[in-house]
C-alpha cells in the first residue's frame, strides 16, 4: 500500500452478507442503509442457480409494484455509484482522493445472502468486477453474538491482514483460527490481488438475538464513517436504535433474572472502560464475573475477525 495515497480515500467496496456473519442483521442492515441513502445502481447480480442451495436459502413469493405475484431468488448484488466521483467533472481531484460528505460517489456496495456453494468461483467473480472498477480497498462488515449489555455503546472490533492498513488505521490483526465465513474468503483473495481490506465487527447482545439490532447497525456505520472519512446519512436508525433499547428495558423490567444478568454485564463493561483498569485487574475481575454466573457458554463471544 502506497503511503502517498490512502486506499480508504479512494474507491471503496463495502461488503456484508445475510447469514452466519450477520447477528441481529446488523451488518446486512448497515449496507442496506447505505444502499438506500446513496445514489447507487445495480451493477452486477450473481446467478442464484450457481451459488445457492434453494432448500437452504429458499426463494420467496410476494406481490410486486403492479400487484402481480412474483418470485424473489436469493442472490448478491454489487451496486455502483450513479456517477462515480472521477467521472463528475465538477468534483476536484483533491476531493476524489479525500472522500467527504459531498463526495460519497466513491462507495460501491456488495450485499446479499452468503452463498451456499462455489465460494471460490463466487469470490473470483466479485474480485474481477472490483478490479475492473478500480476499487482501491474493501471494507467487510460483520456482526456476532456476544456477552455485552444492550444499555452500553455497542463495541466494535476492527482488524486487517494488511500490515500497512494496520499501521495507517492503528488496528489489530485477528488471531482467530477456525471455521470462517465468506467474508474471510473474500478478504484473503482481495489481499492476494493487492486490494487492501479491513473488517469491522459489531457485538450484538446474545439475549436479544431473535430480531434486528439497529443499535449494532448504527455502531457499524459510525465506525465505517470514521475509517473512510465520509458523512453517512443515518435515516431513521437513531430513533430505531433508541426504541430498540427502550423495548428491551421494558422486557428486562418484567424479568428479574434478565435484569440481574444485564446488571452483571454492565458491571463487567464499565470495569473494562474504567481508566483505572489494568490488564491484570481486568483478567481477575473477568474470572470473578464468569464464576459468579451460571449461564452456559452458548452466548460466549465468537472469535473476532472471522
As a three-state string, the secondary structure of 100-124 is: CHHHHHHEEEEEEECCCCCHHHHHH
Instruction: Output the tens digit of pLDDT for each of the chain's 306 residues.
Output: 444 456 777 899 999 999 999 999 999 999 999 999 888 999 999 999 999 999 999 999 999 888 999 999 999 999 999 876 554 444 334 333 344 454 457 899 999 999 999 999 999 999 999 999 999 999 999 999 999 999 999 999 999 999 999 999 999 999 888 999 999 999 999 999 999 999 999 999 999 878 899 999 999 999 999 888 788 888 889 999 999 999 999 999 999 999 999 999 998 888 877 665 555 554 555 455 445 444 433 444 443 444
> Rounded to an integer, what is the distance from CA 70 to the centroid of its chain?
30
Q: What is the pLDDT of residues 36-79, one digit of tens each?
A: 988 899 999 999 999 999 999 999 999 988 899 999 999 999 99
pLDDT reported for residue 204: 94
CA distance 152 to 202: 13
Three-state SS string over 163-227 comes to HHHHHHHCCECCCCCCCCCHHHHHHHHHHHCCCCEEEEEEEEEHHHCCCCCHHHHHHHHHHHHHH
> Using an 8 Å Cβ cutoff, are 10 and 136 in contact?
yes
Domains and CATH numbers, the chain: 7-243 (3.40.50.10900)
pLDDT reported for residue 284: 55
pLDDT reported for residue 85: 58
pTM value > 0.85: no
Amino acid at each position: 500500500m502506497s503511503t502517498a495515497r490512502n486506499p480508504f480515500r479512494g474507491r471503496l467496496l463495502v461488503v456484508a452478507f445475510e447469514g452466519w456473519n450477520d447477528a441481529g442483521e446488523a451488518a446486512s442492515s448497515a449496507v442496506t442503509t447505505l444502499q438506500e441513502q446513496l445514489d447507487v445502481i445495480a451493477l452486477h447480480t450473481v446467478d442464484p442457480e450457481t451459488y445457492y442451495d434453494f432448500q437452504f436459502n429458499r426463494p420467496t413469493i410476494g406481490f410486486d409494484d403492479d400487484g402481480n405475484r412474483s418470485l424473489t431468488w436469493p442472490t448478491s448484488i454489487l451496486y455502483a455509484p450513479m456517477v462515480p466521483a472521477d467521472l463528475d467533472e465538477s468534483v476536484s481531484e483533491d476531493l476524489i482522493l479525500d472522500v467527504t460528505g459531498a463526495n460519497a460517489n466513491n462507495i460501491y456496495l456488495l450485499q446479499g445472502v452468503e452463498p451456499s456453494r462455489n465460494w471460490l468461483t463466487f469470490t473470483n467473480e466479485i474480485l474481477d468486477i472490483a478490479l475492473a472498477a478500480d476499487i482501491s480497498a474493501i471494507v467487510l462488515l460483520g456482526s456476532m453474538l456476544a456477552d455485552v449489555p444492550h444499555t452500553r455503546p455497542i463495541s466494535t472490533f476492527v482488524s486487517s491482514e494488511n500490515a500497512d492498513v494496520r499501521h495507517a488505521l492503528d488496528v489489530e490483526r485477528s488471531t482467530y483460527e477456525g471455521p470462517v465465513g465468506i467474508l474471510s474468503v473474500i478478504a484473503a483473495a482481495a489481499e492476494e490481488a493487492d486490494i487492501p481490506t479491513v473488517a469491522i465487527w459489531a457485538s450484538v447482545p446474545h439475549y436479544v438475538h431473535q430480531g434486528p439490532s439497529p443499535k449494532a447497525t448504527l455502531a457499524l456505520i459510525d465506525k465505517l464513517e470514521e475509517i473512510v472519512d465520509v458523512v453517512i446519512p443515518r435515516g431513521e436508525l437513531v430513533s430505531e436504535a433508541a426504541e430498540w433499547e427502550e423495548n428491551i428495558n421494558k422486557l428486562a423490567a418484567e424479568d428479574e433474572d434478565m435484569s440481574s444478568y444485564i446488571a452483571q454485564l454492565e458491571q463487567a463493561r464499565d470495569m473494562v472502560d474504567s481508566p483505572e483498569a489494568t490488564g491484570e485487574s481486568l483478567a481477575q475481575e473477568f474470572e470473578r464475573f464468569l464464576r459468579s454466573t451460571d449461564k452456559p457458554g452458548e452466548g460466549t463471544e465468537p472469535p473476532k475477525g472471522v
